[in-house]
Amino acid sequence: MHRSPRLIAELVELTRPLGWTLRDLARELKVSEISLQQYRSGRRPLSLSTIATIVERFGMYREIKDLTWQYLRSYHQLSAEKRVTVSAALPPTASRALTHYVEHFAEETIRGGRGLFLVADGAPPLTASVAHLRAAFGEAGIEIAVLRADVTPSATELRAAVSAPLLIVERIDFVSALVSDIVRRRADVLKPLVVTSLDAPQRLSDDYLRRIFLSVTRLIDLREAAAHATPKPGVPDVVPVPSSSAHTDAVD
């Protein structure tokens, strides 16, 4: 049982003077009336898509905006490191960075769809990273889609890749034209992406994709993370990003 969120109660009070019924509000939020009643009673947590719709439709109201953040902080925190087995191929600093992304994914989605660009010298750390993300997002109950950049997706995979809250593309350095188009479509509507590669984003041959990744993804360099896997006493363990890199975050 989830505590009944003030957010839904406030939405009901906000729209009542307009003559809206629960059915009207449910239609505006693109959910069924039954789902809205479950949200209101606390029997069911809000989905990320519903939260995004609330922000898009009612985010101009300060109270709704504040209650949305309160809800995100209360209901979408995840201690993934304690519940997800970490592969030995994944440096501890990298696993913590990935876990942090999962924990704050709802906020990232609301704030512009920022993603991750994972780079390594070989396939094992990248494979381990994807497995870690799949497990952590599964634990959080968040739907994701995963594609190989060089494999033509089926019709079902294509639909999932476009609509899922998060798309993971493995080995973007071998991207096909179709998968490249999917990446562009998601970037155009600010839907988050995680990509893996053996090349840094600056070295990608596609100019448009390179600009996408440099602007809307955060670089996690598993090569540097592995080199610093045993931190010195008193030195905080973070995933280092080479200072010479031009890769910057689009949103803080």
Mean of all residue pLDDT scores within the chain: 80
Q: Is the pLDDT of residue 198 over 60?
A: yes
Which residue, chain included where needed, has tokens 């984003």? Answer: 201
What is the per-residue pLDDT across 136-191, written as a single tens digit (0 to 9) for each?
888 777 888 999 999 888 888 888 898 888 999 999 999 999 999 999 998 888 88
The tokens for 231 are: 């931190």
Report the percent of the chain where pLDDT is more than 90.
Answer: 27
Identify the band that residue 219 occupies on the pLDDT scale cut at 50, 70 and 90: very high
Look at residues 3, 157, 142 and name the one whose alpha carbon lies nearest to residue 70: 3
Residue 151 — φ and ψ, nearest 5°?
-115, 130
List pLDDT tens digits, range 60-118.
888 888 888 877 766 655 433 445 555 667 778 888 889 888 888 877 766 666 899 99
Q: How far is CA 39 from CA 1, 33, 76, 148, 246, in A?
A: 11, 10, 15, 36, 44
Global confidence as pTM: 0.60
State how far the Cα of 191 lies from the Cα of 77, in Å rounded to an integer: 20
As a three-state string, the secondary structure of the chain is CCCCCHHHHHHHHHHHHHCCCHHHHHHHHCCCHHHHHHHHHCCCCCCHHHHHHHHHHHCCCHHHHHHHHHHHHHHCCCCHHHHCCCCCCCCHHHHHHHHHHHHCHHHHHHCCCCEEEEECCCHHHHHHHHHHHHHHHHHHCCCEEEEECCCCCCHHHHHHHHHCCEEEEECHHHCCHHHHHHHHHHHHCCCCEEEEECCCHHHCCCHHHHHHHHHHEEEEEHHHHHHCCCCCCCCCCCCCCCCCCCCCCCCC
Residue type, 247: H
Contact 249, 111 (CB under 8 A): no
